[in-house]
A = this chain, B = another copy of it.
Amino acid sequence: MLITTRRHFIAAGAAALSHAMIARVASAQTPPASAGPVDPALIDDLVAANRILVDQGVVDGYGHVSVRHPGDPQRYLMSRSIAPELVTAADIMEYDLDSTAVDPRGRTSYLERFIHGEIYRVRPDVKAIVHNHSPSVIPFGVSTVPLKPIYHMSAFLGGGVPVFDIKAAAGGPTDMLVRTPALGRALATTLGARPVALMRGHGCVVVAPAIQMTVFRSVYTEMNARLQAQAMALGPVTYLDDEEARLAGASVGGTVVRPWELWRKKALAR
């Protein structure tokens, strides 16, 4: 029956199907092995990240954040399917890159976990990923106006912010959810080497080489969208030029620990 399902999917013409997916279907039979325990401080950072994203208005009752397993690049860590504000260390689950849970114990997984697995698969530089419905970002995902860096805090947007249209990726209307490896892979392709991709009619995905920076970028992507819309209403806007974006991105990237310490302290104090 699994084979039938797979054949049907192929018949539907999904271009992204691959050997990796076949492997995934097979691996669903046996839970993958754990890559072993991780430093509790990293789990605390992941819990903090969930709460910080709430505090900063980037996620509400939906959205998720993951971190790559420090001991095995083929594994990542993410909460079971609950609202980010409720996440505690006990809710963190381990997944392989097919987004199969190592030890589900009856816990529900986020439907869209394939966003995480498929990006980790093709972006070895990425160590943490946020998927959200960041409010100010939504309008940019449904318009033809590109998101551009309005100030140094969002200089990381300088390489361009692509929009993932799931209808084009799936070849027709869907429920808008990245609920298959093929869709996750298509999103990863749209993202390319960049830090942020918008998702039309849905939200966005944000990646970085560290969880602190992924959270930082999520916060300032929301802020950039809000401020860019306000600036465009005033008239023509001068964005950071490419070189400014590159230089400022590097400089500001080195200061991420400053807000992170504040945010983490407040998030874990609750």
Question: Residues of A with Cβ closer than 8 Å to B?
Answer: 60-62, 81-83, 85-86, 111, 133, 135-136, 138-145, 149-153, 155, 167, 172-177, 200-203, 223, 226-227, 229-241, 243-244, 247-248, 250-252, 255, 258-263, 265
Contact = CB atoms under 8 A, between A and B. Distances in A.
Contacts of A152: 175-177, 201-202
B81 A258 contact: yes
Given A60-B259, A61-B259, A142-B237, 15 more contacts: A61-B258, A62-B255, A83-B259, A85-B262, A86-B261, A138-B230, A139-B227, A141-B151, A143-B238, A151-B201, A152-B175, A155-B176, A174-B244, A174-B247, A175-B250
Given A237-B142, A259-B60, A135 B229 contact: no
A238 B163 CA distance: 12
Nearest to A201: B151
Contacts of A141: 151
Contacts of A167: 241, 244
Contacts of A86: 261-262, 265
Contact of A150 (B142, B175, B223): B142
Q: Name the residue in A133, A172, A260 with the highest tally of chain B Cβ atoms < 10 Å from its Cβ.
A: A133
